[in-house]
Structure 1
Amino acid sequence: MLATPNPLTRTPIGLAGVGMALIAVCYGLARFAYGLFVPVFRAEFGLDAATAGAVASGSYGAYCIAIVVATLATTRWGPRAVAVAAGVCATVGTAVIAVAPGTAVLAAGVVLAGSSTGLASPPLAQAVARTAPPRLEPRLQTVVNAGTGLGVLVSGPVALLLAAQWRWAWAAFSVAALAVTCWAWTTVPGRTGPVTTRSSSSASALIASLLAPRGARSLVLAAGVMGLGSAAVWTFGRDLVGSAGRGDLTGVVMWIALGAAGLLGAFAGDLTGRLGLARCWSVAMVLLGGATALLALGADVPALAVAIGAVFGAVYIALTGLLLLWATRVHPDRPVVGVGATFLVIALGQALGAPLLGVLADAVTLPGAFLAAAVVCALGALLRPRAERA
């Protein structure tokens, strides 16, 4: 039986540790590792690019539903129950992928695993916002958010070691998710007080409050554009490198570099204090677009592909951290609503982008699809937080 949660473990640092681990298994393993294994899945199940993109879109769609559920459920039942539910979905989803006999079961596992990410972010953001001292909150929020990079970093070597036994790789992901789920049960705090109003847990109230605060529309649009532009690398990045004739090793090393550099996204909170949120956002979006375009043009050069993967990983995780901070500033009284809504829109952008880019790749070329995604990222640099919030 799982141990009763110990209040002594609920320090800000302890919470950041389990939060980073939960984000790592949900985002880095259960969700984004799909892109790492796309070449294997295409060979195993006979998928074309459009179908591979559609499966990824299903994962993003599940994320969208789950993040709405998580935002409402965290308000009613507290962070712990929802965080544990995220871990359970990651555990079961990755296990289903490991035993998938065909495309339908594979897609079901990908969808379930992808839903874990939607469940994970809102309760962790709420727990950190309510637990951490104000001076530490931006840093701890972005540390937790950088768990995506940690998970991607771990998934790369596993894929490299178990290239011919991909089912065992996903089984290992499931075991890791189970262990972190148990840790979350003993560490993440539960609901600390009663629900004050019925509207706080209604979907209509959530939707109404999303665009109400000043600056919320810019936040929502920026999140959607970032999700759309980033879908190319997450879904087809390794496939692009492989199709350029560089083989599996270069693609996996690029993925490892992406995850390792993603850990640098933990410093996004510190950078906003020095440069301002608006400036950091614009520069990071330009870099995201540049990395996407360069990968389209230089995927056949191994060293360049690995370096570009590292830049993309660091910038992507930093951008999600910036959006997280932007959301808590636009919604200071209800951070769970701001973060939940913002990450929902990121996923909507990715859910739209993955199949569109797959269709574009089949119609034109995969590099051409990447160049289109790069243009979207560059345009996103024009969407900035209000100067007074920077």
Structure 2
Amino acid sequence: MKFPSSTAFALLGAGLIAISFGLARFAFGLFVPPIRADLSLTPDVIGIIGALPLISFALASLVAPWSADRLGARNTAMISGVFGVVGLALISQATGAMSLGVGVVACGICTGLMMPALTAAMQALVRRSMHGRVSSVMNAGTSVGVVIAVPTVLFLAGAWRYAYASFAVIALLGVAATWFFIPSVSRVMPANAAPPPSITAQQWWRLLRLAIFAFMMGFISAAYWIFAPDLVVSLGEMSSDSTAWLWLGVGIAGLGGAVVADLADRNNPPITQALMLMMLSASLALLAASPNNLPLSAFSALVFGLSYMSLTGLYLMTGIRLLPGRLSFGPVLPFMAVSLGQAAGSPVVGLLVGQTGYANAFGAFCAIGIVVAMFSPFYPRYLDQEPEAVEEEDTGLQAAYDYQLQNEEGEPFRQGPMGKA
């Protein structure tokens, strides 16, 4: 098997993230209005169902690093893809809250396994100096998936079952691409690879602060991801297909989040965290204030997409920077914290919507976001030694890279527990 280049791997990873995060996870909010109408579900039930994939995502994230280390990057990514196919197919055939919940749980497992699998492959295939940029490009794949979902709403607004069936077919193509193009390189370790150093108390403290900010951002963003389309339909009296313009704005602006996150990663992460969290909060208030105005609603989606993708990219790269030798674990903590925050926020906003209405619920979450942004000076800075300053040979990455280019020379490699790649 020919190992993909860094650019090819980044693009392939972005495509798989588009399927697992964009279609299997975040597209659900776009179809809430027709799903809720067809299945006769109340806002509080939708809030609970919206939390289920986030919980399954967190549970899958706990076992994902072990799976990537033991089963290999390719097999873990394929397991993720299979769960995505099954979950999307189940949603397309849902007849009530129970069957819909099972489908979204499977989609959450798909999402939880994919990123650790890709970062495990990246650790062996991509030079350390490129890790942040490649991760940022892959993370932007979420926006691509959201954009892909938009035409299905425009043309299949009243046929959400066919839309999810088409998503299942796309996910099946992703499984095939994984088999052909993702090598199981994480099964093989260089003979001279040193084990990663133990996590220090200073690293744990910084990881804890990162997790708190990621959790709160996830909590606040749950209102938009789950209930924004339903808000403009119920409160703004727009048609269901008009909600596609919201997700189109989220997806397009989210592509810019990859650039913003990369710039923030190299300049001042705490200031960027504060600015983007304020923008995310403002998008909630703007949507609640003008749900019947399509241009302003679309603008709120642009603001939300840029801020959300920038923040998730920033959290992803911060986790990688804080744990440079543990790429199958570094991104897991902030992603799991975001998911847990969304799982906690989804039923809360559903309860508030049922009791106080959409405007008050979104206003309350906006206020929470502003308060959290004020604490951004406590956002963790990186360790004194940046990953680029660490010799790649120390973790065996250079040896792995040389093996990719010159594996015919028979470099001494130690077999992992699963045998050859």
After superposition, the C-alpha distances for 1:238-262 in whole angstroms (9 at most, x for unaligned) are 0011111122233111111111211
Corresponding position of 1:234: 225
C-alpha change, 1:151 and 1:263, in structure 2 (3 Å) is same
Corresponding position of 1:203: none
1:224 to 212, 215, 229: 215
Q: TM-score, normalised by structure 1?
A: 0.91
1:13 corresponds to 2:7: yes
Corresponding position of 2:388: none
Corresponding position of 1:291: 283
Runs of 4+ in 1 over 6 A off after TM superposition: 208-211
SS of 1:100 mapped into structure 2 = coil
Alignment of 1:1-390 (within 5 A): 6-8=1-3, 10-190=4-184, 191-193=186-188, 213-243=204-234, 244-272=236-264, 275-381=267-373, 382-383=375-376, 384-387=378-381
8 Å contact from structure 2 (residues 91, 100) kept in 1: yes
1-structure distance, mates of 2:183, 2:135? 16
8 Å contact from structure 1 (residues 210, 338) kept in 2: no
1-structure distance, mates of 2:115, 2:89? 22
Shift of 1:41: 1.1
SS of 2:239 mapped into structure 1 = helix
Q: TM-score, normalised by structure 2?
A: 0.84
C-alpha change, 1:269 and 1:353, in structure 2 (3 Å) is closer
Greater Cα offset, 73-82 or 265-274: 265-274
Structure 2 unaligned residues grouped into runs of 5+: 385-421
C-alpha change, 1:237 and 1:314, in structure 2 (3 Å) is same
8 Å contact from structure 1 (residues 213, 331) kept in 2: no
Shift of 1:373: 1.6
2-structure distance, mates of 1:26, 1:175? 13
8 Å contact from structure 1 (residues 326, 385) kept in 2: no
2-structure distance, mates of 1:104, 1:30? 18
SS of 2:83 mapped into structure 1 = helix
2-structure distance, mates of 1:13, 1:91? 26
| AA partner of residue 305 (structure 1) | S
C-alpha change, 1:29 and 1:194, in structure 2 (3 Å) is same
C-alpha change, 1:386 and 1:104, in structure 2 (3 Å) is closer
C-alpha change, 1:29 and 1:283, in structure 2 (3 Å) is same
8 Å contact from structure 1 (residues 59, 110) kept in 2: yes
Greater Cα offset, 365-374 or 31-40: 365-374
1-structure distance, mates of 2:200, 2:65? 12
For these two proteins, the number of residue pairs brought into alignment is 375
Structure with a larger share of its residues in helix? 1
After superposition, the C-alpha distances for 1:10-32 in whole angstroms (9 at most, x for unaligned) are 22112111111111111111111
Structure 1 unaligned residues grouped into runs of 5+: 1-5, 201-205
| AA partner of residue 101 (structure 2) | A
2-structure distance, mates of 1:15, 1:195? 21
8 Å contact from structure 2 (residues 210, 380) kept in 1: no
1-structure distance, mates of 2:203, 2:263? 28
8 Å contact from structure 1 (residues 138, 269) kept in 2: no
Larger Rg: 2
C-alpha change, 1:26 and 1:34, in structure 2 (3 Å) is same
1-structure distance, mates of 2:203, 2:129? 27
Shift of 1:130: 3.2
